[in-house]
Amino acid sequence: MAKSLHETNDKIQDIAVLVSLITPETKQTGIDPSYSLDELVRLAETAGVEVAETVVQNRDKPDPRWFIGKGKVLELRELMDRLGANTAIFDQELSGAQVRNLEEMLDAKIIDRTQLILDIFAQRAKTREGIIQVELAQLTYLLPRLTGHGRNLSRLGGGIGTRGPGESKLEMDRRHIRRRIGELKHQLEEVTRHRRLHRARRKETGVVQVALVGYTNAGKSTLLKQLTNADVYVENQLFATLDPTTRLLPLPGGKDVVLTDTVGFIQNLPHDLVAAFRATLEEVNEADLILHVVDASSPMRQEQMEVVGRILNELGAGGKPQIVLFNKIDLCLPEGLQMLPSGEGYLKISAYDERDLTAIREALQRSLSGGTKSFRIPAERGDLASVLYRIGDVVNQQMDEADMIYHVNVNQADFAKYGYQLAPFAVQKPNVHEETNESR
């Protein structure tokens, strides 16, 4: 079961030197190495680590034995001795052999970016589902690296890199760990089955689903809290919340939608983590509309948007209807605001401005609306009246000879599910003007 630092030993203080290796291949990924290192500092601080120093090396390729060059390893050992650091955190993923070699040379705990993120998730997991997913991701990550974490496993007192499965589980042999992974996958399948049942019930009742997605710390949880009065944890930290929260959000037209806050994305998000959290992230795939929350004040705003777009594509949700919310505009300079995209599908907002929250609700109303459609229903087909009310709001109805003409403000998602029954009775030219999307 996932444990926090305070549950292991709150007297232990990890003092770390952060290490980044820059190669030509690194530059080809499009990720700014300096920004990635700055983000690693924030991740370490989020995990409760004191960052003593950062070290960067440029090489043509990683050293297969040490990851960084041997000379740089010796420099790192001298630096850590001088600073009293007991941990080295690498911005890239290490192999088990590299971890073992670095541990022996540095006489310190070795953590890579993936393990650091998993450690933060272990701290954040509160629900049974979250705890299962974190432990599954940690064990899947550690299984091929068991021989490379000898010092981590034997060192008493905990700290980063030892949270989650716990020391006793990590000392199992591979067969037992594989068995535990199988058990966790089975438990997760049960959780996934329950989620599917809940989603199926929501679909049957015609409830529209909206997912909040975005880079970590973009303000998703704050928006959920402000829009729905949800009792959720909000803090200026990376991965401040982990477990998804779902709340009802009333729209101006009187209809409710289901709004779900999802786990924040980050560049180099561990594949094991994405796989383990797929049950949670499936909420994005089931959404009728995505609210992409962007930190407008971030200097890496565009890169963060690209990371979110890439992960959405990996999840199969890249083609979903989307509204981009440029959040935290109160922290932006006027010239910075002018550079943000505007028009249909974009809103510039502050989560703490009530006018902007109203604008979001109105934008949702417009985006989920399929405009106004008219239907001529013969008197003998009175059974279709219930379908008319299911696909949207009936704004007007009138008799015309033996038929009844209905004008309906259509909800796109509901119309897609039930509108086929009304297709033979559609009137091509509705009498009510269809609304168009506007943006702030």
* Residue 60 marked as a ligand binder: no
Q: Is 350 annotated as a binding residue?
A: yes
| 46 assigned ligand-binding residue | no
Query: What pLDDT is attached to residue 410?
Result: 79
CA atoms of 327 and 298, how far apart (whole Å):
10
Q: For residue 116, how many other CB atoms are within 10 A of its CB?
A: 24
> Which of the pair, 275 or 313, is modelled with greater confidence?
313
Is 263 labeled as ligand-binding?
A: yes
Q: Return the closest-CA partner of residue 437 out of 319, 346, 311, 313.
A: 346
Give the model confidence (pLDDT) of 353-364 as tens digits: 999 999 999 999
Token representation of residue 118: 């998993």
180-198 confidence digits (pLDDT tens): 999 999 998 888 788 778 7
Q: What is the pLDDT of residue 238?
A: 65
242 is annotated as contributing to ligand binding = yes
Report the C-alpha dihedral over residues 17, 22, 23, 26, rounded to 10 degrees.
110
* Domains parsed from the chain with CATH numbers: 15-121 (3.40.50.11060), 126-148+172-205 (no CATH), 207-352 (3.40.50.300), 369-427 (3.30.70.240)
More reliable by pLDDT, 370 or 352: 352
Average pLDDT score over residue span 199-217: 79
The sheet with strand 403-411 has its strands ordered as 392-400, 403-411, 369-378, 426-427
Does the annotation place 329 within a ligand binding site?
Answer: yes
What pLDDT band is residue 212 in, cutting at 50, 70 and 90?
A: very high
17 is in an annotated binding site: no
What span, in angstroms and rounded, lies between the C-alpha atoms of 356 and 56?
A: 42
Q: Is 402 annotated as a binding residue?
A: no
Distances (CA, A) of 112 to 94, 121, 266: 6, 14, 15
Dig out the tokens for 258 from the structure: 């289901």
Q: Can you tell me the distance from the alpha carbon of 358 to that of 380, in angstroms, rounded to the nearest whole number?
A: 42
Residues 6+ positions from 220 with CB-CB distance below 8 Å: 212, 213, 214, 261, 262, 264, 293
Q: Is 419 annotated as a binding residue?
A: no
Whether the CB-CB separation of 11 and 81 falls below 8 Å is answered with no
Q: What average pLDDT does this structure show over 413-433?
A: 69
Where are the extended beta strands (E) located within 100-204? 109-112
Annotated binding-site residue? 85: no
Asked if residue 438 has pLDDT above 60, the reply is no
Look at residue 325 in the predicted model and tell me its pLDDT.
96
